[in-house]
Amino acid sequence: MTGTLYGLGVGPGDPELLTLKALRVLQACPVVAYPAPDHGQSFARGICAEHLTGEQTEVPIVVPMRVARFPAQEVYDEAAQTLRGHLDAGRDVAVLCEGDPFFYGSFMYLFQRLAADYRWEVVPGVSSLMTSAAVLGQPLAARNDLLTVVPGPSSDSVIRDALTRSDALAFIKVGRHFARLKALIKQAGMLDRAVYLERVSLEEQRILPLSEAGNDAPYFSMILIYAGGEEWVSNLPGPAELNS
Amino acid sequence: MTGTLYGLGVGPGDPELLTLKALRVLQACPVVAYPAPDHGQSFARGICAEHLTGEQTEVPIVVPMRVARFPAQEVYDEAAQTLRGHLDAGRDVAVLCEGDPFFYGSFMYLFQRLAADYRWEVVPGVSSLMTSAAVLGQPLAARNDLLTVVPGPSSDSVIRDALTRSDALAFIKVGRHFARLKALIKQAGMLDRAVYLERVSLEEQRILPLSEAGNDAPYFSMILIYAGGEEWVSNLPGPAELNS
Protein backbone atom coordinates (compact mmCIF):
# COMPACT_ATOMS: atom_id res chain seq x y z
CA MET A 1 0.00 0.00 0.00
CA THR A 2 1.29 3.44 -0.94
CA GLY A 3 1.70 6.31 1.46
CA THR A 4 -0.45 9.42 1.87
CA LEU A 5 0.60 12.90 0.78
CA TYR A 6 -0.16 15.56 3.40
CA GLY A 7 0.00 19.29 2.78
CA LEU A 8 0.36 20.85 6.22
CA GLY A 9 -0.34 24.51 6.81
CA VAL A 10 2.03 25.49 9.62
CA GLY A 11 0.85 29.06 10.09
CA PRO A 12 2.48 32.47 9.74
CA GLY A 13 5.55 32.01 11.93
CA ASP A 14 4.65 31.77 15.61
CA PRO A 15 5.12 28.05 16.40
CA GLU A 16 2.08 28.21 18.66
CA LEU A 17 -0.14 28.92 15.67
CA LEU A 18 0.27 25.34 14.51
CA THR A 19 -2.99 23.39 14.70
CA LEU A 20 -3.47 20.25 16.77
CA LYS A 21 -4.08 18.38 13.53
CA ALA A 22 -0.94 19.59 11.80
CA LEU A 23 1.05 18.61 14.88
CA ARG A 24 -0.45 15.12 14.99
CA VAL A 25 0.09 14.48 11.28
CA LEU A 26 3.59 15.94 11.38
CA GLN A 27 4.68 13.61 14.14
CA ALA A 28 3.11 10.57 12.48
CA CYS A 29 4.85 11.02 9.11
CA PRO A 30 8.21 9.30 8.55
CA VAL A 31 9.06 11.78 5.77
CA VAL A 32 8.94 15.57 6.10
CA ALA A 33 9.48 17.86 3.10
CA TYR A 34 9.67 21.65 3.14
CA PRO A 35 10.70 24.57 0.94
CA ALA A 36 14.17 25.89 1.68
CA PRO A 37 16.22 28.79 0.35
CA ASP A 38 19.54 28.13 -1.35
CA HIS A 39 21.22 29.74 1.64
CA GLY A 40 20.00 29.68 5.20
CA GLN A 41 17.28 27.87 7.07
CA SER A 42 13.82 26.80 5.96
CA PHE A 43 11.19 29.08 7.47
CA ALA A 44 8.52 26.37 7.42
CA ARG A 45 10.84 23.85 9.09
CA GLY A 46 11.80 26.40 11.72
CA ILE A 47 8.16 26.83 12.72
CA CYS A 48 7.89 23.09 13.42
CA ALA A 49 11.44 22.32 14.51
CA GLU A 50 10.61 21.60 18.13
CA HIS A 51 8.08 18.94 17.10
CA LEU A 52 10.26 16.91 14.73
CA THR A 53 10.92 13.49 16.21
CA GLY A 54 14.57 13.27 15.18
CA GLU A 55 13.89 10.03 13.34
CA GLN A 56 12.22 11.49 10.27
CA THR A 57 13.69 11.63 6.79
CA GLU A 58 13.85 15.27 5.78
CA VAL A 59 13.49 16.43 2.16
CA PRO A 60 14.40 20.09 1.70
CA ILE A 61 13.00 21.47 -1.56
CA VAL A 62 15.50 24.11 -2.55
CA VAL A 63 13.85 26.81 -4.62
CA PRO A 64 16.42 29.33 -5.83
CA MET A 65 15.10 32.84 -5.18
CA ARG A 66 16.74 34.39 -8.23
CA VAL A 67 15.85 32.08 -11.08
CA ALA A 68 14.76 33.87 -14.21
CA ARG A 69 11.69 31.72 -14.66
CA PHE A 70 9.30 31.45 -11.77
CA PRO A 71 8.20 29.01 -10.58
CA ALA A 72 11.16 26.76 -11.09
CA GLN A 73 9.20 23.83 -12.46
CA GLU A 74 12.25 21.61 -12.67
CA VAL A 75 12.70 21.88 -8.92
CA TYR A 76 9.17 20.59 -8.39
CA ASP A 77 9.62 17.85 -10.97
CA GLU A 78 12.62 16.59 -9.10
CA ALA A 79 11.04 16.98 -5.66
CA ALA A 80 7.93 15.13 -6.84
CA GLN A 81 10.11 12.25 -8.01
CA THR A 82 11.79 12.05 -4.62
CA LEU A 83 8.45 12.07 -2.83
CA ARG A 84 7.10 9.41 -5.21
CA GLY A 85 9.89 7.14 -4.06
CA HIS A 86 8.78 7.48 -0.45
CA LEU A 87 5.04 7.23 -1.22
CA ASP A 88 5.54 4.14 -3.39
CA ALA A 89 7.44 2.54 -0.53
CA GLY A 90 4.40 3.08 1.69
CA ARG A 91 5.78 6.02 3.64
CA ASP A 92 3.47 8.94 4.46
CA VAL A 93 4.90 12.32 3.48
CA ALA A 94 4.20 15.66 5.20
CA VAL A 95 4.91 18.76 3.12
CA LEU A 96 5.26 21.77 5.41
CA CYS A 97 3.67 24.93 4.01
CA GLU A 98 4.10 28.42 5.43
CA GLY A 99 0.70 29.87 6.31
CA ASP A 100 -1.93 27.90 4.42
CA PRO A 101 -1.07 25.40 1.65
CA PHE A 102 -3.56 26.69 -0.93
CA PHE A 103 -3.50 30.44 -0.28
CA TYR A 104 -0.92 31.54 -2.85
CA GLY A 105 1.31 28.67 -1.77
CA SER A 106 3.83 26.62 -3.70
CA PHE A 107 2.33 23.36 -2.44
CA MET A 108 0.05 23.34 -5.49
CA TYR A 109 3.03 22.50 -7.70
CA LEU A 110 3.66 19.28 -5.81
CA PHE A 111 -0.05 18.55 -5.46
CA GLN A 112 -0.55 18.84 -9.22
CA ARG A 113 2.18 16.29 -9.81
CA LEU A 114 1.14 13.76 -7.17
CA ALA A 115 -2.53 14.03 -6.17
CA ALA A 116 -3.87 11.85 -8.97
CA ASP A 117 -1.71 8.91 -7.94
CA TYR A 118 -1.83 8.87 -4.15
CA ARG A 119 -4.19 9.42 -1.25
CA TRP A 120 -3.86 13.00 -0.10
CA GLU A 121 -5.05 15.33 2.60
CA VAL A 122 -4.55 19.07 2.94
CA VAL A 123 -4.58 20.50 6.47
CA PRO A 124 -5.44 24.20 6.31
CA GLY A 125 -3.33 26.59 8.33
CA VAL A 126 -3.61 30.02 9.91
CA SER A 127 -2.88 32.50 7.14
CA SER A 128 -0.78 35.65 7.42
CA LEU A 129 -3.87 37.40 6.02
CA MET A 130 -5.92 36.71 9.14
CA THR A 131 -2.87 37.07 11.37
CA SER A 132 -2.26 40.60 10.10
CA ALA A 133 -5.75 41.65 11.10
CA ALA A 134 -5.33 39.95 14.47
CA VAL A 135 -2.08 41.68 15.43
CA LEU A 136 -3.40 44.97 14.12
CA GLY A 137 -6.61 44.71 16.11
CA GLN A 138 -8.76 45.61 13.12
CA PRO A 139 -11.22 43.56 11.07
CA LEU A 140 -9.84 42.24 7.82
CA ALA A 141 -13.37 42.61 6.49
CA ALA A 142 -16.80 42.74 8.12
CA ARG A 143 -20.52 42.76 7.45
CA ASN A 144 -21.02 42.82 3.66
CA ASP A 145 -17.61 44.23 2.75
CA LEU A 146 -16.16 43.28 -0.60
CA LEU A 147 -12.61 42.14 0.18
CA THR A 148 -9.97 42.01 -2.54
CA VAL A 149 -6.60 40.31 -2.18
CA VAL A 150 -4.12 41.92 -4.55
CA PRO A 151 -0.68 40.46 -5.28
CA GLY A 152 1.99 43.16 -5.46
CA PRO A 153 3.05 42.32 -9.04
CA SER A 154 -0.43 43.22 -10.38
CA SER A 155 -0.53 45.97 -12.99
CA ASP A 156 -1.24 49.59 -12.13
CA SER A 157 -4.66 49.44 -13.78
CA VAL A 158 -5.67 46.30 -11.88
CA ILE A 159 -4.58 47.91 -8.63
CA ARG A 160 -6.38 51.20 -9.36
CA ASP A 161 -9.52 49.30 -10.21
CA ALA A 162 -9.33 47.20 -7.04
CA LEU A 163 -8.83 50.31 -4.90
CA THR A 164 -11.92 51.88 -6.43
CA ARG A 165 -14.40 49.10 -5.93
CA SER A 166 -13.37 47.31 -2.72
CA ASP A 167 -14.40 47.97 0.85
CA ALA A 168 -11.34 46.19 2.19
CA LEU A 169 -8.05 45.25 0.54
CA ALA A 170 -5.03 43.17 1.38
CA PHE A 171 -1.88 43.60 -0.70
CA ILE A 172 0.35 40.55 -0.50
CA LYS A 173 3.76 39.76 -2.02
CA VAL A 174 4.56 43.42 -1.46
CA GLY A 175 8.38 43.18 -1.55
CA ARG A 176 9.93 45.12 -4.40
CA HIS A 177 6.53 46.54 -5.43
CA PHE A 178 6.23 48.50 -2.20
CA ALA A 179 6.98 52.01 -3.48
CA ARG A 180 4.65 51.62 -6.45
CA LEU A 181 1.82 50.26 -4.30
CA LYS A 182 2.21 53.09 -1.83
CA ALA A 183 2.06 55.67 -4.62
CA LEU A 184 -1.07 54.12 -6.10
CA ILE A 185 -2.77 53.98 -2.70
CA LYS A 186 -1.87 57.61 -2.10
CA GLN A 187 -3.24 58.60 -5.54
CA ALA A 188 -6.49 56.87 -4.64
CA GLY A 189 -6.74 58.98 -1.48
CA MET A 190 -6.59 55.95 0.80
CA LEU A 191 -3.22 56.42 2.48
CA ASP A 192 -4.83 57.43 5.79
CA ARG A 193 -6.59 54.09 6.15
CA ALA A 194 -3.69 51.87 5.03
CA VAL A 195 -1.46 49.91 7.38
CA TYR A 196 1.87 48.23 6.67
CA LEU A 197 2.70 44.97 8.43
CA GLU A 198 5.87 42.93 8.36
CA ARG A 199 6.68 39.43 9.67
CA VAL A 200 3.45 39.16 11.61
CA SER A 201 3.37 36.90 14.68
CA LEU A 202 7.17 36.83 14.91
CA GLU A 203 9.13 38.71 17.53
CA GLU A 204 10.49 41.06 14.90
CA GLN A 205 7.05 42.00 13.57
CA ARG A 206 6.50 45.63 12.60
CA ILE A 207 3.19 47.46 12.27
CA LEU A 208 3.08 51.01 10.95
CA PRO A 209 0.62 53.35 9.28
CA LEU A 210 1.60 53.04 5.61
CA SER A 211 2.31 56.76 5.51
CA GLU A 212 5.11 56.24 8.02
CA ALA A 213 6.67 53.14 6.46
CA GLY A 214 9.95 53.45 4.58
CA ASN A 215 10.47 52.52 0.95
CA ASP A 216 11.69 48.97 1.37
CA ALA A 217 9.70 45.92 2.31
CA PRO A 218 10.61 42.26 2.74
CA TYR A 219 8.73 39.52 0.91
CA PHE A 220 6.81 38.67 4.08
CA SER A 221 4.97 41.96 4.31
CA MET A 222 1.44 43.08 3.69
CA ILE A 223 -0.63 46.23 3.35
CA LEU A 224 -4.17 46.23 4.72
CA ILE A 225 -6.89 48.73 3.93
CA TYR A 226 -10.21 48.57 5.73
CA ALA A 227 -13.28 50.62 4.90
CA GLY A 228 -13.78 51.71 8.49
CA GLY A 229 -10.04 52.08 8.82
CA GLU A 230 -9.48 55.71 9.75
CA GLU A 231 -10.71 55.25 13.28
CA TRP A 232 -8.80 52.02 13.77
CA VAL A 233 -5.54 53.32 12.32
CA SER A 234 -5.64 56.29 14.66
CA ASN A 235 -5.57 53.86 17.54
CA LEU A 236 -2.24 52.31 16.56
CA PRO A 237 -0.11 50.86 18.07
CA GLY A 238 -1.95 47.91 19.44
CA PRO A 239 -0.59 45.64 22.17
CA ALA A 240 3.10 46.02 22.70
CA GLU A 241 4.08 42.45 23.31
CA LEU A 242 2.05 40.09 21.20
CA ASN A 243 4.39 37.15 21.30
CA SER A 244 5.40 37.44 24.93
CA MET B 1 -4.96 44.81 37.79
CA THR B 2 -7.63 44.26 35.17
CA GLY B 3 -7.92 41.14 33.06
CA THR B 4 -7.03 40.65 29.42
CA LEU B 5 -9.59 40.26 26.63
CA TYR B 6 -8.75 37.44 24.22
CA GLY B 7 -10.44 36.88 20.88
CA LEU B 8 -9.79 33.23 20.05
CA GLY B 9 -10.21 31.91 16.54
CA VAL B 10 -11.31 28.31 17.04
CA GLY B 11 -11.36 27.28 13.37
CA PRO B 12 -14.05 26.06 11.00
CA GLY B 13 -15.50 23.17 12.97
CA ASP B 14 -13.08 20.25 13.23
CA PRO B 15 -11.86 20.44 16.85
CA GLU B 16 -8.39 19.43 15.67
CA LEU B 17 -8.08 22.67 13.71
CA LEU B 18 -7.70 24.58 16.97
CA THR B 19 -4.22 26.09 17.32
CA LEU B 20 -1.85 25.30 20.17
CA LYS B 21 -2.09 28.93 21.20
CA ALA B 22 -5.87 29.05 21.26
CA LEU B 23 -5.85 25.88 23.36
CA ARG B 24 -3.34 27.29 25.86
CA VAL B 25 -5.18 30.60 26.22
CA LEU B 26 -8.56 28.90 26.45
CA GLN B 27 -7.48 26.70 29.32
CA ALA B 28 -5.84 29.59 31.17
CA CYS B 29 -8.89 31.88 31.13
CA PRO B 30 -11.33 31.72 34.04
CA VAL B 31 -14.10 33.20 31.87
CA VAL B 32 -15.17 31.87 28.46
CA ALA B 33 -17.71 33.72 26.29
CA TYR B 34 -19.15 32.56 22.97
CA PRO B 35 -21.97 33.33 20.56
CA ALA B 36 -24.99 31.11 20.96
CA PRO B 37 -28.27 30.78 19.09
CA ASP B 38 -31.55 31.35 20.91
CA HIS B 39 -32.22 27.62 20.55
CA GLY B 40 -29.66 24.87 20.50
CA GLN B 41 -25.96 24.64 21.16
CA SER B 42 -23.18 27.14 20.50
CA PHE B 43 -21.12 26.05 17.50
CA ALA B 44 -17.97 27.78 18.78
CA ARG B 45 -18.31 26.21 22.21
CA GLY B 46 -18.86 22.79 20.65
CA ILE B 47 -15.54 23.04 18.81
CA CYS B 48 -13.74 23.57 22.13
CA ALA B 49 -15.95 21.58 24.48
CA GLU B 50 -13.46 18.82 25.19
CA HIS B 51 -10.87 21.36 26.36
CA LEU B 52 -13.00 23.31 28.83
CA THR B 53 -11.75 22.74 32.35
CA GLY B 54 -15.15 22.46 34.01
CA GLU B 55 -14.26 25.26 36.40
CA GLN B 56 -14.69 28.16 34.02
CA THR B 57 -17.46 30.73 34.11
CA GLU B 58 -19.28 30.56 30.81
CA VAL B 59 -20.95 33.58 29.20
CA PRO B 60 -23.19 32.66 26.25
CA ILE B 61 -23.89 35.65 24.05
CA VAL B 62 -27.31 34.94 22.64
CA VAL B 63 -27.76 36.60 19.28
CA PRO B 64 -31.30 36.11 17.96
CA MET B 65 -31.11 34.99 14.32
CA ARG B 66 -34.32 36.72 13.29
CA VAL B 67 -34.03 40.23 14.65
CA ALA B 68 -35.09 42.93 12.24
CA ARG B 69 -31.98 44.98 12.78
CA PHE B 70 -28.63 43.28 12.31
CA PRO B 71 -26.35 43.27 14.17
CA ALA B 72 -28.27 43.33 17.39
CA GLN B 73 -26.22 46.07 19.01
CA GLU B 74 -28.10 45.84 22.29
CA VAL B 75 -26.95 42.26 22.68
CA TYR B 76 -23.33 43.35 22.37
CA ASP B 77 -23.87 46.29 24.71
CA GLU B 78 -25.14 43.93 27.36
CA ALA B 79 -22.46 41.28 26.72
CA ALA B 80 -19.74 43.92 26.91
CA GLN B 81 -21.06 45.04 30.28
CA THR B 82 -20.95 41.49 31.58
CA LEU B 83 -17.40 41.02 30.33
CA ARG B 84 -16.36 44.37 31.85
CA GLY B 85 -17.41 43.02 35.21
CA HIS B 86 -15.05 40.08 34.85
CA LEU B 87 -12.19 42.13 33.39
CA ASP B 88 -12.47 44.78 36.11
CA ALA B 89 -12.26 42.02 38.70
CA GLY B 90 -8.97 40.92 37.14
CA ARG B 91 -10.28 37.88 35.34
CA ASP B 92 -9.03 37.10 31.84
CA VAL B 93 -11.81 36.53 29.32
CA ALA B 94 -11.62 34.31 26.23
CA VAL B 95 -14.19 35.04 23.53
CA LEU B 96 -14.54 32.01 21.25
CA CYS B 97 -14.90 32.92 17.57
CA GLU B 98 -15.86 30.52 14.79
CA GLY B 99 -13.15 30.50 12.13
CA ASP B 100 -11.08 33.64 12.54
CA PRO B 101 -12.14 36.53 14.83
CA PHE B 102 -11.61 39.33 12.31
CA PHE B 103 -12.68 37.68 9.06
CA TYR B 104 -16.34 38.76 8.88
CA GLY B 105 -16.71 37.85 12.53
CA SER B 106 -18.95 39.27 15.22
CA PHE B 107 -16.02 39.60 17.64
CA MET B 108 -15.44 43.12 16.31
CA TYR B 109 -18.58 44.31 18.10
CA LEU B 110 -17.18 43.31 21.48
CA PHE B 111 -13.68 44.47 20.57
CA GLN B 112 -14.99 47.94 19.66
CA ARG B 113 -16.64 48.25 23.04
CA LEU B 114 -13.75 46.96 25.16
CA ALA B 115 -10.35 47.25 23.45
CA ALA B 116 -9.68 50.83 24.49
CA ASP B 117 -10.02 50.01 28.18
CA TYR B 118 -8.28 46.66 28.60
CA ARG B 119 -5.26 44.71 27.45
CA TRP B 120 -6.27 42.57 24.51
CA GLU B 121 -4.92 39.90 22.21
CA VAL B 122 -6.49 38.37 19.14
CA VAL B 123 -5.44 34.82 18.27
CA PRO B 124 -6.06 34.20 14.57
CA GLY B 125 -7.78 30.99 13.57
CA VAL B 126 -8.05 28.71 10.58
CA SER B 127 -10.71 30.24 8.34
CA SER B 128 -13.42 28.36 6.47
CA LEU B 129 -12.06 30.17 3.41
CA MET B 130 -8.76 28.28 3.49
CA THR B 131 -10.46 25.14 4.75
CA SER B 132 -12.74 25.08 1.72
CA ALA B 133 -9.77 25.09 -0.62
CA ALA B 134 -8.07 22.40 1.49
CA VAL B 135 -10.96 19.93 1.45
CA LEU B 136 -11.56 20.64 -2.23
CA GLY B 137 -7.93 20.04 -3.15
CA GLN B 138 -7.77 23.20 -5.22
CA PRO B 139 -5.88 26.45 -4.69
CA LEU B 140 -7.98 29.27 -3.28
CA ALA B 141 -5.73 31.56 -5.31
CA ALA B 142 -2.22 31.26 -6.71
CA ARG B 143 0.58 33.13 -8.40
CA ASN B 144 -0.66 36.67 -9.11
CA ASP B 145 -4.37 35.91 -9.02
CA LEU B 146 -6.69 38.66 -7.94
CA LEU B 147 -8.92 37.08 -5.28
CA THR B 148 -12.26 38.63 -4.36
CA VAL B 149 -14.32 37.64 -1.34
CA VAL B 150 -17.97 38.44 -1.99
CA PRO B 151 -20.64 38.32 0.73
CA GLY B 152 -23.88 36.82 -0.56
CA PRO B 153 -26.03 39.88 0.22
CA SER B 154 -24.00 42.02 -2.23
CA SER B 155 -26.00 43.62 -5.04
CA ASP B 156 -26.28 42.07 -8.50
CA SER B 157 -24.09 44.77 -10.03
CA VAL B 158 -21.34 44.32 -7.43
CA ILE B 159 -21.40 40.57 -8.03
CA ARG B 160 -21.36 40.90 -11.83
CA ASP B 161 -18.45 43.28 -11.58
CA ALA B 162 -16.52 40.97 -9.25
CA LEU B 163 -17.09 38.01 -11.57
CA THR B 164 -15.73 40.01 -14.49
CA ARG B 165 -12.48 41.18 -13.03
CA SER B 166 -11.33 38.47 -10.59
CA ASP B 167 -9.16 35.42 -11.21
CA ALA B 168 -10.51 33.71 -8.13
CA LEU B 169 -13.64 34.30 -6.07
CA ALA B 170 -15.07 33.11 -2.80
CA PHE B 171 -18.73 33.75 -2.07
CA ILE B 172 -19.47 33.67 1.64
CA LYS B 173 -22.69 34.08 3.64
CA VAL B 174 -24.39 32.26 0.78
CA GLY B 175 -27.51 31.10 2.63
CA ARG B 176 -30.71 32.55 1.21
CA HIS B 177 -28.83 34.24 -1.63
CA PHE B 178 -27.86 30.91 -3.14
CA ALA B 179 -30.24 30.80 -6.12
CA ARG B 180 -29.44 34.39 -7.11
CA LEU B 181 -25.69 33.81 -6.85
CA LYS B 182 -25.91 30.66 -8.93
CA ALA B 183 -27.89 32.48 -11.63
CA LEU B 184 -25.38 35.33 -11.77
CA ILE B 185 -22.44 32.91 -11.97
CA LYS B 186 -24.19 31.04 -14.77
CA GLN B 187 -24.87 34.30 -16.63
CA ALA B 188 -21.17 35.11 -16.40
CA GLY B 189 -20.33 31.77 -18.02
CA MET B 190 -18.45 30.54 -14.97
CA LEU B 191 -20.69 27.74 -13.75
CA ASP B 192 -18.27 25.06 -14.96
CA ARG B 193 -15.50 26.27 -12.68
CA ALA B 194 -17.63 26.91 -9.58
CA VAL B 195 -17.78 24.59 -6.58
CA TYR B 196 -20.29 24.55 -3.75
CA LEU B 197 -19.11 23.62 -0.24
CA GLU B 198 -21.08 23.17 2.94
CA ARG B 199 -19.96 22.69 6.57
CA VAL B 200 -16.33 22.16 5.64
CA SER B 201 -14.17 20.08 7.98
CA LEU B 202 -17.22 18.59 9.71
CA GLU B 203 -18.38 15.02 9.18
CA GLU B 204 -21.46 16.24 7.35
CA GLN B 205 -19.48 18.37 4.88
CA ARG B 206 -20.70 18.39 1.28
CA ILE B 207 -18.71 19.31 -1.83
CA LEU B 208 -20.42 19.53 -5.20
CA PRO B 209 -19.90 21.20 -8.55
CA LEU B 210 -22.20 24.22 -8.28
CA SER B 211 -24.12 23.01 -11.32
CA GLU B 212 -25.19 19.94 -9.35
CA ALA B 213 -26.06 21.68 -6.09
CA GLY B 214 -29.72 22.15 -5.17
CA ASN B 215 -31.42 25.47 -4.53
CA ASP B 216 -31.02 25.69 -0.79
CA ALA B 217 -27.91 26.40 1.20
CA PRO B 218 -27.22 26.77 4.91
CA TYR B 219 -25.49 29.81 6.33
CA PHE B 220 -22.22 27.90 6.64
CA SER B 221 -21.74 27.36 2.93
CA MET B 222 -19.43 28.82 0.33
CA ILE B 223 -18.96 28.95 -3.42
CA LEU B 224 -15.41 28.95 -4.78
CA ILE B 225 -14.34 29.88 -8.28
CA TYR B 226 -10.75 29.46 -9.34
CA ALA B 227 -9.26 30.66 -12.61
CA GLY B 228 -7.65 27.34 -13.38
CA GLY B 229 -10.73 25.64 -12.05
CA GLU B 230 -12.07 23.57 -14.96
CA GLU B 231 -9.35 20.97 -14.64
CA TRP B 232 -9.64 20.80 -10.86
CA VAL B 233 -13.42 20.61 -10.81
CA SER B 234 -13.35 17.71 -13.25
CA ASN B 235 -11.34 15.79 -10.69
CA LEU B 236 -14.05 15.97 -8.02
CA PRO B 237 -14.70 14.27 -5.67
CA GLY B 238 -11.54 14.54 -3.64
CA PRO B 239 -10.71 12.25 -0.74
CA ALA B 240 -13.71 10.38 0.55
CA GLU B 241 -13.02 10.54 4.24
CA LEU B 242 -11.45 13.77 5.21
CA ASN B 243 -12.33 13.67 8.87
CA SER B 244 -11.61 10.00 9.46
Range of the domain at B17: 4-123
Nearest-5° Cα angle at A241, A236 to A242: 85
Strands B221-226, B168-172: pairing is antiparallel
Q: What's the gap in Å between the CA of B30 and the closest CA on chain A?
A: 20
- Backbone phi and psi for residue B18, each to the nearest 5 degrees, phi listed first: -70, 145
Residue B25 has pLDDT above 60, yes or no: yes
How much is the pLDDT for A228?
66
B108:A9 CB<8 A: no
B-chain residue closest to A100, CA distance: B130
Question: Do B132 and B103 sit in the same domain of this protein?
Answer: no
- Report the alpha-carbon angle B148-B173-B25, nearest 5: 90
Domain boundary (B123, B144, B172) is at B123
From A102, A115, A148, residue closest to B140, measured CB to CB: A102
Q: Identify the pLDDT of residue A214.
A: 83
CA distances from A163 to A166, A188, A221, B166 (A): 6, 7, 19, 13
Looking at the complex, does the CB of residue B229 fall below 8 Å from at least one CB of chain A? no
Task: With H, G, I as helix, E, B as strand and everything else as coil, classify residue A225.
Answer: strand
Q: How many CB pairs under 8 A join A and B?
A: 195
Residue of B nearest to A120 (CA): B239
Task: Write down the mean pLDDT value for chain B.
Answer: 90
Rg of chain B over Cα atoms, rounded to whole angstroms, equals: 19
What pLDDT score does B66 carry? 62
CB B3 within 8 A of CB B114: no
- Per residue in B53-110, pLDDT (tens digit) is 999 999 999 987 665 555 578 899 999 999 999 999 999 999 999 999 999 999 999 9
Task: Please check whether residue B242 lies inside any domain of the structure.
Answer: no
Neighbours of B83 (CB within 10 A): 23
pLDDT at residue A99 tops 70:
yes
Same domain for B103 and B15: yes
Per-residue pLDDT reduced to its tens digit, A46-61: 999 999 999 999 999 9
Please check whether residue B227 lies inside any domain of the structure. yes
Instruction: Kindly report the CATH number assigned to the domain that includes residue A50.
Output: 3.40.1010.10
Among residues 9-38 of chain B, which lie with CB inside 8 Å of chain A?
Answer: 9, 11-12, 14-21, 23-24
Domain end among A89, A106, A123: A123
Nearest residue of A to residue B240, measured between CA atoms: A119
The ipTM value here is 0.93
Q: Is residue B181 part of a domain?
A: yes
Do B172 and B211 fall into the same domain? yes
**pLDDT tens column, A2-34:** 999 999 999 999 999 999 999 999 999 999 999
Q: What's the pLDDT at A195?
A: 93
Final residue in a domain of this structure, among B123, B144, B175: B123
Question: Please, which residues bridge with residue A8 across strands?
Answer: A96, A123
Q: Answer whether residue A244 shows pLDDT above 60.
A: no
What would the pLDDT profile of A63-90 be if each residue is shown by its tens digit? 876 655 555 788 999 999 999 999 999 9
Q: Are residues A150 and A215 in the same domain?
A: yes
Q: Are residues A9 and A25 in the same domain?
A: yes
pLDDT at B71: 58
User: Is the CB of B149 less than 8 angstroms away from the CB of A154?
Assistant: no
Contact A16 B17 (CB under 8 A): no
pLDDT at B211 over 70: yes
Mean pLDDT of B211-224: 88
Q: What is the mean pLDDT of residues B195-206?
A: 94
Res A237 pLDDT > 50 = no
What pLDDT sits at residue B19?
Answer: 98
Q: Please say if the pLDDT value at position A205 is more than 60.
A: yes
Q: How far is B212 from chain A (nearest CA, A)?
A: 23
DSSP helix/strand/coil, A167: coil
Gap between the terminal Cα atoms of chain B: 45
Query: Which residue spans within chain A are E strands per DSSP?
Result: 4-9, 31-36, 57-62, 93-97, 119-123, 147-151, 168-172, 194-198, 206-209, 221-226
Does pLDDT of B240 surpass 50?
no
Question: pLDDT at position A240, please?
Answer: 38
Has residue B232 got a pLDDT over 60? no
Pairing of strands A4-9, A93-97: parallel
- Chain A stretch 87-126, residues whose beta carbon is closer than 8 A to a beta carbon of chain B: 100-105, 108, 111, 115-116, 119-126
- A94 min Cα distance to partner chain B (Å): 14
Residue B215 has pLDDT above 90, yes or no: no
pLDDT band at A216 (very low <50, low <70, confident <90, very high): confident
CA dihedral B214, B219, B220, B224 (to 10 degrees): 60
The confidence score (pLDDT) of residue A168 equals 96
pTM of the model: 0.94
**pLDDT value at position A72?**
75
> Please, what's the largest Cα pairwise distance for chain A?
59
Whether residue A241 lies inside any domain: the answer is no
A74 interfacial to chain B (CB closer than 8 Å): no
Q: Pick the residue with more confidence: A115 or A243? A: A115
**What is the Cα–Cα distance from A166 to A171, expressed in whole angstroms?**
12
Cβ of A56: how many Cβ atoms within 10 Å? 15
Cβ of A142 under 8 Å from any chain B Cβ? yes
Q: What is the pLDDT of residue B238?
A: 46
- Count other C-beta atoms under 10 Å from residue B52's C-beta: 13
Which range is least confidently modeled, B36-45, B202-211, B219-228? Answer: B219-228
Question: Under a CB-based contact definition with an 8 Å cutoff, are residues A148 and B154 in contact?
Answer: no
Interface contact B43, partner A, CB < 8 A? no
Q: Is residue B40 part of a domain?
A: yes
Spatial strand order of the sheet with A221-226 comes to A206-209, A194-198, A221-226, A168-172, A147-151, B147-151, B168-172, B221-226, B194-198, B206-209
Provide the domain count of chain B: 2
* Mean pLDDT computed over every residue of chain A: 90
